[in-house]
Structure 1
Amino acid sequence: MSLTFSLDPAVTPALRDGILDLWTDVSNAGGAVGFVAPVERETIRPELVKHLTAMAEGRHRLLVGLDEAGEPAATAFFSFNTHRLQTHWVWLYTVMVHPRHQGRGYGRDLLAAAAQAARGFDGIDAIRLTCRGGHGLERFYGSCGYKEVGRIPGAIRVAPGDDRDDIIMLLPLT
């Protein structure tokens, strides 16, 4: 089965709660999506609210992949630059696939859907994202066409004595 992707879906309570569950499950499975396991839903909720507020203000857009049961299985948020010299590219944030769906190619499908969506945004030439070192994510993103364009050593502290690189990746769309 494949995921069904939707850009800018209506954010119903069920979708909001599904994304919150997804984010919690990904974090607790060791995913590098802004939190370190163990984490509870209520710890993640304020960050999701920030994303949803930015969507309501037109600063973020949501791409969600629904599984065969109609549950959120993958997400990515687009964030638009407001600086006049950087409006030609978007950030991709909170890129995640539920652990029970990993290993099926859904991450590649999500990134392909994100690239397709971004190509439809006026004036956007590239997608930029960052990933946490130590997970091999830069190799995965590289296999999907992204290029490593920068690295800040030790910029992410996941625990005392456990600092990871912040890796900047870019996907040209043209």
Structure 2
Amino acid sequence: MPLTFTFDPAVTPDLRDGILDLWADVSNAGGAVGFVPPVTREDIRPSLVQHFASMAEGRVRFLVGHDEEGRVVATAFLTRNTHHLMTHWLWLNTVMVHPRHQGKGYGRDLLAAAAGAARGLDGIEAIRLSCRGGIGLERFYESCGYKEVGRIPAAIRVAPGDDRDDVIMLLSLA
């Protein structure tokens, strides 16, 4: 069953709690979304509050996917550049699909919905994202049309002695 995507939904307590649950579940399943397991909702809350503050300032837009039961099961945040020479592309971050829904094509659906949302924004010609190397994410993003345009070796320290590359990917919207 397909997900229902909403761009810039109203932030309600239910939505906030759904995002916190999703983010914790994805992180604890080993997802590369800014944390390493074990993590709790309270560990994640400050990062979500930062996202919400950036949304209130108009710098970040939000895409959420709900399953047939209305649960938050996918997210992506679209962040505009503030540098005047880089306003023609935006960042896609905190891209998540709940582990129980992975392998169903929902990640592709989320990225397609994010590209559609970005195409609707004035002046946006490309989407950039970065992902943690070493777990196959770059192959997934490439299969969705993104190209690897840079790599910073050992930039992400997952644990002492476990450094991963920061892989920079780009999707042209032209």
TM-score range, shorter chain: over 0.9
1:125-164 alignment to 2 at 5 Å?
Answer: 125-164=125-164
Deviation by residue 1:113-172 (Cα, 9 ceiling, x = unmatched): 000110000000000000001110000000000000000000000000000000000000
Q: What number of residue pairs does the alignment pair up?
A: 174
1:43-62 alignment to 2 at 5 Å?
Answer: 43-62=43-62
Deviation by residue 1:53-91 (Cα, 9 ceiling, x = unmatched): 100110101000000011111000000001100000000
Rounded to whole Å, the distance in 2 between the matches of 1:82 and 1:159 is 32
Structure 1 stretches of 4+ moved >4 Å? none
Rounded to whole Å, the distance in 1 between the matches of 2:137 and 2:161 is 21
Aligned pair 1:101/2:126, yes or no?
no
Aligned to 2:85: 85
Which amino acid letter does the alignment assign opposite residue 39 of structure 1?
V
Q: Which runs of 5+ in 2 are unaligned?
A: none
Identity of aligned residues (%): 78
- Structure-2-length-normalised TM-score: 0.99
Deviation by residue 1:31-73 (Cα, 9 ceiling, x = unmatched): 0000000111100000000001100110101000000011111
Rounded to whole Å, the distance in 2 between the matches of 1:151 and 1:92 is 17
Equivalent residue of 2:148, what SS? strand
Equivalent residue of 2:118, what SS? helix
- Structure-1-length-normalised TM-score: 0.99
Rounded to whole Å, the distance in 1 between the matches of 2:153 and 2:35 is 19
Rounded to whole Å, the distance in 2 between the matches of 1:167 and 1:155 is 9
Aligned to 2:168: 168
Aligned to 1:23: 23
Equivalent residue of 1:37, what SS? coil
Rounded to whole Å, the distance in 2 between the matches of 1:20 and 1:59 is 21
Q: Which runs of 5+ in 1 are unaligned?
A: none
